[in-house]
């Protein structure tokens, strides 16, 4: 199964919601808080093309933020994406 990494900042409601959703689905993840890490934040924007957090990766692939994760869960695609 691909590793799940979620990049977050403090005081971020969407980050909390995304983590709760992953937990509810029973998916283990690693969290990286980029609140004070400017170089990591720059890297994240380069990788994802997005300036918002959270940003979630399945393996090396950025899948988006909370909205995209919710859609994946709603469409029942979470396990297949993590296992391919």
Ligand X SMILES: N[C@@H](CCC(=O)N[C@@H](CS)C(=O)NCC(=O)O)C(=O)O
Say how many CA atoms lie within 13 Å of 81 toward its Cβ. Answer: 20
Nearest 10 degrees: Cα torsion 33, 78, 13, 65 = 70
- 52 binds ligand X per the rule CB under 6 A: yes
- 14 binds ligand X per the rule CB under 6 A: yes
From 25-33, 39-47, 62-70, 76-84, give the range in contact with ligand X by CB under 6 A. Answer: 62-70
Alpha carbon of residue 2 to chain centroid: 13
| Closer by beta carbon to ligand X, 35 or else 80 | 35
- 4 binds ligand X per the rule CB under 6 A: no
């Amino acid at each position: 199964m691909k590793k799940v990494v979620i990049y977050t900042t403090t005081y971020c409601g969407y980050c909390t919601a995304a983590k709760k959703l992953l937990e509810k689905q029973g998916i283990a993840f690693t969290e990286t808080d980029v609140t004070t890490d400017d170089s990591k934040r720059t890297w994240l924007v380069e990788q994802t093309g997005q300036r918002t957090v959270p940003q979630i990766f399945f393996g090396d692939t950025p899948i988006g933020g909370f909205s995209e994760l919710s859609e994946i869960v709603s469409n029942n695609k979470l396990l297949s994406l993590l296992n391919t």
